[in-house]
Amino acid sequence: MFIIIKELYVCTNQNGDNARQTFNFIIMKTKTIDVNAKEWFDNKNGNSYFCGTITLNFGTDTEKTFLMPFQCGYGQSYIQEAKAILTQFNKISPDYGSPLSMYCRKNNIIYRTSLQENCLKRELTQIETNY
């Protein structure tokens, strides 16, 4: 399912006249957001790290996957990073202050998360390699 949005832009040209131009934007409707991550705890330094993927419209023709690269963080950090990545790539609106779960609830999007704890470091780096 696609949504067509028409936007009108008014800009001033070199002569000082206002020029009006209409653009059509086709936006893919997001039906599902799946956030999958693995977490590794570095015993030597006492830090937790995660790496994972974000999949939009899982199992459909419009499926798109994004990488959450290997980085420091624990608990719900992977969900916050997923929201930042989706906002960065203009897949969701930057609804500041509200969590990704609330954004999905408001926009009728199926939202699933998965975090595998106690993984090996090589399992996390393998996610980046396979992406």
Binned at pLDDT 50, 70 and 90, residue 1 comes out as: very low
pLDDT tens per residue across span 105-120 = 999 999 999 999 999 9
pLDDT tens per residue across span 51-98 = 999 999 999 999 999 999 999 999 999 999 999 999 999 999 887 778
In a domain, 13, yes or no: no
In a domain, 44, yes or no: yes
Which pLDDT value is given to residue 18? Answer: 61
In a domain, 124, yes or no: yes
Residue the block writes with tokens 């998965």: 114
In a domain, 96, yes or no: yes
In a domain, 7, yes or no: no
Binned at pLDDT 50, 70 and 90, residue 100 comes out as: very high
Tally of structural domains, the chain = 1
In a domain, 4, yes or no: no
Q: Give the strand pairing for 18-28 and 110-116.
A: unpaired
Q: What is the pTM (predicted TM-score) of this model?
A: 0.77
User: What is the CB neighbour count within 10 angstroms for residue 34?
Assistant: 19
Give CA separation, 128 vs 1, 36, 70, 102, 124, in Å.
30, 13, 8, 28, 7
In a domain, 6, yes or no: no
In a domain, 2, yes or no: no
Which amino acid appears at position 65 of this protein?
A: T
User: What is the CB neighbour count within 10 angstroms for residue 111?
Assistant: 16
Binned at pLDDT 50, 70 and 90, residue 13 comes out as: low
Domain membership of residue 97 as a residue range? 30-130
